[in-house]
Structure 1
Amino acid sequence: MAKALFHKHQRVYVAPVGTWAIVEHVKPHWVKDVEEPVRIYYDCGLGRDFTTHELAAEQVETVDGENWRVLRAKNKWQSMEECSRHPYPGTFPVVVTDPKDWGGWRVPAAEYDRDPVRIEAQARLLSRSPGLLELAEQLIQLASEDPELPNAVTELARRANDIVREVNIKPAAAAPVSPPHPA
């Protein structure tokens, strides 16, 4: 069954047209004796109705110059019927980490198909990682400025410090590779 992912008056990116638009009407497609709509169409005032996989929500959250967000990519390898049990049939999540929607994190189709709910949760977690890192850094700063904090908060700050240190480790310079000896 379908669930509406966008709402009326929401700004969305319409991929087939390549422009931003406002959802003017949400149009559920009902079938007799079925409790939920079978499909959801969206009227964006562009001459035809669009489906969920043709639209992308606007992501406004920016943390420290980072704008990681979850976009929906069209599933090219499976039909809508084959992936009807997925949370968002016909699409899979892509976490982009660049302002130009370039680079980031993707998952192979076979892995997504094995456990789509888990992959969706991973995508949401990855897209919120910059905010979680900033929160951990603020907790560390708070603990370093106030020695009178309760032990539980101090322990959380210590754990946050360990995590932030692991995240900020720079890879060691790779050892130069010597060319093979001629035979």
Structure 2
Amino acid sequence: MKRLLLLLWLLVPVISAMGQGHDFVLNEIRENTTARKIGSLLIISAGPMSTRKIGQDMKYALDKQFRNKSFQTSIVHLGTLEYCTDENIAKASAMFPHDVVLVVVPKEVEDHAVTKNPNKPLTRAASLVLLGPLLAPNRYSRKEFANQLETFYLLDKSNLQEPFWIGQSNVSTNLDSNKYFDYLIKNLLRIWKDEGISVGG
């Protein structure tokens, strides 16, 4: 996988897939060629903690999509990118039952955080004077934003070294936005279905 990552980052074929009312752009590097049915999926992420959060939110979106169906998801974060190796993927995949592994790794990362004070009637200093340190509210809120060029690999459990589908898409969102990941999963499921990959059905 580590060798494959280095090779694939040099490729730039682009496919534009239209969502309902939105444009979803996916760089499809490898298309699926065999009809497949996925009843259980292991998501393996690698990279910064924001990528771990992206993998987790994709899992939550899948669980919500298939809550009433016999479909299982699990997730493992390997750590930073240097740990995304064939050996570590094999070790992680041995821990959970699955039909297919979805590996999620970033090629480019430009994450940032924004700290805001939404309420300005009282300053923090004034609150301390009037209310005391125990009652003074912390008016500052912190929001984290991910801006990553994400690569998605689908691996069959019988061959964890050779992905049968590979795609890239830009993930740019507030990491608290559940709707974004619902949208991402909806479009990935649609693209996979068009290529004969049936998930949870």
Question: TM-score range, shorter-chain basis?
Answer: under 0.3
What TM-score, normalized by structure 2, do the two folds share? 0.24
Which structure's CA Rg is the greater one?
A: 1
Instruction: Say which structure, 1 or 2, has more relative contact order (CA 8 Å, 6+ apart).
Output: 2
What TM-score, normalized by structure 1, do the two folds share? 0.26
